[in-house]
């Protein structure tokens, strides 16, 4: 079956965080779109995410902060600890001055909030089981071929189809490459006594410690823990070199006690011991030179499809959300989709490159072996908390363009 050409005007490949947010941002600006999602159902995949104030400022523009606050936990600081001793190296404040929170949240909760908003929006059509297989530029627009055989006409295709982007592949772009590291993701029931290192933090009472994200650093590996699901669960991520993880089911069931974390901070070892068996996520990175605009300006990549990066700065979803708002604002104001696409790329590339450099810096600094780690600890320990916050102001203080027509 063939749909009439130019309906929808804007098609979005992928109903992940990038695609759903893009559709909502466009709708806020009066622009209809159709989201084409390969999966038959929107499964609750993934684990925890940190969403910093820059990303949450977009979701605030979409009036989605109240349900996100209810599902997530607001953090005051990120604490960096020595993996072995557990000693605090530094505490980085992440609370923003304008009150936009820094949330830790389960990816399924974020997706549920976005999907509910999309489903109740008459300007958005969400099609499941619609895998984008081909894209061809034709006079006046695009022909988008679905795997099931249907062809859809559009003026613009937004490729929000993730790290293995079929849209990028169709235009001959080099695929994302393995980084050589793997994230082992799991969850642990939260300690009912409340916050503490990596503890829960909703409804914090006077005298209880501030809610925090905890990162334990060590040679070749690190671990991160933070509360999700309104503080009832803790998300635990163990990052190792890809060859260093557990080799078999027995090691997996040993919850890493047999792995390189065995002699680390007893608080971390206890968390690992209580956790469900972790799931491995090999980490990929898209080539830095990958263009974001293709097909004579009629195809735009956003999110992981454009710039997948390892999660050392916890910004992959954040950058996807920022991309969505910047692209929507450009489409609402520029005369043509191609002009909007160019403006989007010009605005996003310097920021994405800077985040990418920060990811590389964190990878280096987090995994330093002794004696270099001692120097790192001394330098970080001497910097006042406000200076550590100021180092990241360029990242966290970014704010969404206004999304009002
Ligand atoms: C261990 C780990 C920890 C992380 N922690 C954080 C964090 O703390 N903070 C943060 O901001 N980010 C974090 N990230 C990164 C974040 O998860 C990703 O950057 C984000 O999910 C990317 O969203 P996306 O919408 O671009 O892609 P995806 O979420 O992958 O969505 C892509 C969608 O496209 C669909 N699709 C694929 N192909 C097609 C096709 N051909 N046609 C139609 N649909 C298609 C897929 O089914 C999917 O629904 C982390 C990642 C990892 C691995």
Residue with CA nearest ligand 1 atom 1: 183
What single DSSP character describes residue 219? T
- Token pair, residue 12, equals 């979005």
- For ligand 1, whether the C-beta of 397 sits within 6 Å is no
Residue with CA nearest ligand 1 atom 23: 17
Q: Which helix (H) or strand (E) holds 356?
A: helix 337-366
Ligand 1 pocket mutation pick from 55, 162, 228, 306 by most atoms within 8 angstroms of CB: 162
Atom of ligand 1 nearest to the CA of 104: 8
Alpha carbon 195 to chain centroid, angstroms: 24
- For ligand 1, whether the C-beta of 317 sits within 6 Å is yes
- For ligand 1, whether the C-beta of 314 sits within 6 Å is yes
Which pLDDT value is given to residue 192? 56
- For the chain, helix, strand, coil in percent to 5 are 35, 25, 40
Which pLDDT value is given to residue 247? 57
Rounded to the nearest whole angstrom, what is the distance from the C-alpha of residue 306 to the centroid of ligand 1? 11
Taking 50 as the threshold, does the pLDDT of residue 3 lie above it?
no
- For ligand 1, whether the C-beta of 281 sits within 6 Å is yes
Ligand 1 pocket mutation pick from 19, 49, 175, 285 by most atoms within 8 angstroms of CB: 49
Rounded to the nearest whole angstrom, what is the distance from the C-alpha of residue 160 to the centroid of ligand 1? 9
Q: Which residue has the higher pLDDT, 404 or 154?
A: 154
* pLDDT tens figures, 351-361: 999 999 999 99
Ramachandran assignment for 327, one of left (phi > 0), alpha (psi -120 to 50 degrees), beta (any other) = alpha
Which pLDDT value is given to residue 259? 64
226: phi then psi, degrees, rounded to nearest 5: -160, 160
Q: 343-378 as b/e, with b when 16 or more CB fall inside 10 Å? A: bbbebbeebbeebbebbeebbebbbbeeeebeebbe
Q: Which residue has the higher pLDDT, 405 or 36?
A: 36
- For ligand 1, whether the C-beta of 35 sits within 6 Å is no
Atom of ligand 1 nearest to the CA of 46: 17
Rounded to the nearest whole angstrom, what is the distance from the C-alpha of residue 301 to the centroid of ligand 1? 13
When pLDDT is cut at 50, 70 and 90, the band that residue 149 belongs to is very high
- For ligand 1, whether the C-beta of 78 sits within 6 Å is no
- For ligand 1, whether the C-beta of 106 sits within 6 Å is no
Which pLDDT value is given to residue 197? 41
Atom of ligand 1 nearest to the CA of 18: 25
Q: Which of 133-137, 161-165, 245-249, 387-391 has the lowest mean pLDDT?
A: 245-249
Q: Measured at the alpha carbon of residue 175, what is the angle toward residues 146 and 290, in degrees to the nearest 5?
A: 100
* pLDDT tens figures, 39-56: 999 876 778 999 999 999
- For ligand 1, whether the C-beta of 72 sits within 6 Å is no
Instruction: Say how far apart CA 147 and CA 145 lie, in whole Å.
Output: 7
Which residues belong to the active site? Answer: 226
Rounded to the nearest whole angstrom, what is the distance from the C-alpha of residue 17 to the centroid of ligand 1? 6
When pLDDT is cut at 50, 70 and 90, the band that residue 262 belongs to is confident
Mean model confidence pLDDT for the chain: 89
- For ligand 1, whether the C-beta of 318 sits within 6 Å is yes
Residues in the chain: 405
DSSP 164-199: T-HHHHHTTPPPPEEEEEEEEEEEEEPPTT--STT-
Taking the alpha carbons at both ends of the chain, their separation in whole angstroms is: 35
Nearest to 190 by CA among 218, 221, 231: 231
| 3-state class (DSSP) for residue 221 | strand
Name the CATH superfamily, with its identifier, for domain 10-72+103-177+285-364. FAD/NAD(P)-binding domain (3.50.50.60)
Instruction: Say how far apart CA 10 and CA 299 lie, in whole Å.
Output: 10
Ligand 1 pocket mutation pick from 228, 290, 311, 348 by most atoms within 8 angstroms of CB: 311
Q: Are the C-beta atoms of 141 and 155 separated by less than 8 Å?
A: yes
Mean pLDDT within 101-107 = 96
Q: Are the C-beta atoms of 62 and 117 separated by less than 8 Å?
A: yes
- Token pair, residue 317, equals 């979803």
């Amino acid at each position: 079956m063939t749909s009439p050409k130019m309906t929808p005007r804007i098609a979005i490949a992928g109903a992940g965080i990038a695609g759903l947010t893009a559709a909502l941002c466009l709708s806020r600006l009066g622009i209809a779109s159709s989201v084409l999602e390969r999966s038959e159902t929107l499964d609750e995949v993934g684990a925890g995410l940190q969403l910093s104030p820059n990303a949450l400022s977009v979701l605030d523009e979409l009036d989605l902060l109240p349900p996100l606050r209810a599902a997530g936990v607001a953090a005051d600081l990120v604490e960096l600890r020595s993996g072995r001793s557990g000693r605090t190296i530094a505490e980085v404040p992440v609370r923003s001055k304008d009150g936009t929170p820094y949330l830790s949240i389960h990816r399924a909760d974020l997706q549920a909030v976005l999907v509910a908003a999309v489903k109740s929006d008459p300007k958005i059509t969400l099609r499941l089981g619609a895998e984008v297989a081909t894209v061809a530029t034709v006079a006046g627009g695009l022909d988008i071929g679905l795997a099931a055989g249907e062809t859809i006409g559009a003026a613009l295709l937004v490729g929000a189809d993730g790290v293995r982007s079929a849209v990028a592949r169709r235009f001959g772009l080099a695929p994302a490459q393995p980084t050589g590291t793997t994230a082992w993701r799991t969850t642990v029931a939260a300690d009912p006594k409340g916050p503490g290192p990596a503890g829960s933090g909703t409804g914090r009472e006077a005298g209880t410690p501030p809610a925090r994200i905890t990162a334990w650093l060590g040679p070749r590996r690190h671990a991160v823990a933070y509360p999700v699901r309104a503080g009832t669960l803790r998300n635990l991520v163990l990052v190792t070199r890809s060859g260093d993880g557990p080799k078999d089911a027995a090691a997996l069931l040993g919850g890493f006690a047999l792995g390189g974390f065995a002699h680390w901070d007893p608080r971390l070892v206890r968390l690992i011991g209580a956790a469900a068996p972790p799931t491995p996520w090999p980490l990929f990175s898209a080539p830095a030179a990958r263009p974001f605009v293709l097909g004579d300006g009629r195809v735009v990549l956003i999110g992981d499809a454009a710039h997948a990066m390892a999660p050392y700065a916890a910004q992959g979803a954040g950058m996807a959300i920022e991309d969505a708002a910047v692209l929507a604002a450009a489409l609402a104001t520029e005369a043509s989709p191609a002009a909007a696409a160019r403006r989007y790329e010009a605005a996003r590339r310097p920021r994405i490159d800077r985040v990418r450099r920060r990811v590389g810096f964190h990878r280096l600094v987090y995994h330093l072996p002794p004696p270099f780690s001692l120097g790192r600890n001394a330098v970080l320990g001497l910097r006042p908390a406000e200076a550590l916050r100021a180092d990241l102001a360029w990242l966290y203080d970014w704010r969404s363009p206004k999304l009002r027509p």
